Amino acid sequence: MSEHDVERPEAALERRTRKVFDASVEQLDAGTRARLRAARQAAIVELESRQRPARQGWVPLAVAASAALVAVLLWRAPAESPVPVASSGATQAIDALEVVAAGDDLDLVAEDLEFYVWLEHAELDGHGGGQG
């Protein structure tokens, strides 16, 4: 037997203790294994819950950015519209409706009816007396 065939005492101890330890790990009861499995599942859920906000964090951000973009476009759209707003009959009807709905003094409207007739004609003719 050569010198190399003789196992060092420390190496023998390591081998034996590892064997005993591995056997004890294999002999764990079902209850302990189940609790370890449950603990593992809880850790996986924890990891997934940590990753989810990071992945989904872009969704509300994108929605907010889109909403802001739409709001800006809508706000700027009337100013760039080629349709003359003041000359539209539909717009005037809506304006009248707004006056009624806003509860303005209807007596004043009746008294100055001639004024409003003049105003309408002046706007149609392009004289612009109404805005000033």
Partner 1 sequence: MMGPATLEVPMTQLPADLEYSCREEASLDAAETLDHFLASVERPAFRIAQMALRDRDDALDVVQDAMLHLARSYGHRPGAEWRPLFYRILYNGIRDKQRRRTVRSRLFGLLPGSRADENEPREDPLERVADGAPGPDRLLMADQAMQRLETAVAALPARQQEAFALRCLQGMDVAETATAMGCSEGSVKTHYFRALQSLRATLGEVY
- Positions touching partner 1 (CB under 8 A) are 9-10, 12-14, 16-18, 20-21, 23-25, 27-29, 31-33, 35-37, 39-40, 42-44, 46-48, 50-51
Smallest separation, CB 79 to partner 1 (Å):
49
CB of 59 to partner 1, least distance (A): 20
Whether 92 and 84 have beta carbons less than 8 Å apart is answered as no
List C-alpha distances in Å: 78 to 45, 67, 71, 74, 85. Answer: 51, 18, 12, 7, 9
Tokens of residue 38, six digits: 């449950």
Q: Which is nearer to partner 1, 27 or 81 (CB)?
A: 27
From CA 25, how far away is CA 41, in angstroms rounded? Answer: 20
Q: How far is the CB of 62 from partner 1 (least distance, A)?
A: 23
